[in-house]
Amino acid sequence: MGRGRQKAKHTKVARELKYFSPDTNYSALERELASESEKHSSEDPWGEYAEKYNADEKDDD
């Protein structure tokens, strides 16, 4: 395929992506976002390390 045809094909695809808006499945989006919020806990995953190393800094004072 020549560069002209390749560029024309790319332009066509880019135009379709820019102007075509597919229907959004809001219920699926809601489920996905809800499952992400359940995965994240309010506990700091690095809190244990922060306490450990902050204690070392206090001893140095």
Q: How far apart are CA 6 and CA 42, in angstroms?
A: 50
Domain ranges of the chain: 1-38
Model confidence pLDDT, tens digit, residues 23-49: 889 999 899 988 876 666 567 778 888
pTM score of the predicted model: 0.34
Q: How far apart are CA 38 and CA 53, in angstroms?
A: 29
The helix/strand/coil state of 41 is: coil
Q: How far apart are CA 26 and CA 50, in angstroms?
A: 39
Residue 12: its pLDDT value, please? 95
Q: How far apart are CA 33 and CA 40, in angstroms?
A: 11
